Structure 1
Amino acid sequence: TGVETPPRHVKRLLEVENGKLCYVVGTVYVDMPLKPNVLEDLARDHHITAPPPREKYHSASDEIMLEDESGRVRLVGQKIDDAEGVFVTGTIMAALGAETSSGDFEVIEYCFAGLPPQPALKPAQPDGEWVAIASGLEMGSASDAADVRTEMLVEYLLGEAGEEEDQDEAVKISRLILAGNSLARPDIGASAGEEPKKYGYDSSLYTAKPTEALDAFLSELAPSLPIELMSGETDPTEPTMPQQPLHHALLPKSAMYEGLTGRTNPFWCDIGGASFFGTSGQTVDDIFKYLEGNDRLGVAMQTLEWSHIAPTCPDTLWCFPFTDRDPFILHQTPHVYFVGNQPRFETRLVEAQPAAESEDQTVKRVRVVLVPKFSETGEVVLVNTATLEVRRRRFALGE
Structure 2
Amino acid sequence: MSTTSAASSSSSSSAGDMIEAPSQVLNFEEIDYKEIEVEEVVGRGAFGVVCKAKWREKDVAIKQIESESERKAFIVELRQLSRVNHPNIVKLYGACLNPVCLVMEYAEGGSLYNVLHGAEPLPYYTAAHAMSWCLQCSQGVAYLHSMQPKALIHRDLKPPNLLLVAGGTVLKICDFGTACDIQTHMTNNKGSAAWMAPEVFEGSNYSEKCDVFSWGIILWEVITRRKPFDEIGGPAFRIMWAVHNGTRPPLIKNLPKPIESLMTRCWSKDPSQRPSMEEIVKIMTHLMRYFPGADEPLQYPCQYSDEGQSNSATSTGSFMDIASTNTSNKSDTNMEQVPSTNDTIKRLESKLLKNQAKQQSESGRLSLGASRGSSVESLPPTSEGKRMSADMSEIEARIAATTGKKEIKV
TM-score for the superposition, normalised by structure 1: 0.21
Name the structure with the higher helix share. Answer: 2
Which of 1 and 2 has higher RCO (CA within 8 Å, sep 6+)?
1
TM-score for the superposition, normalised by structure 2: 0.20
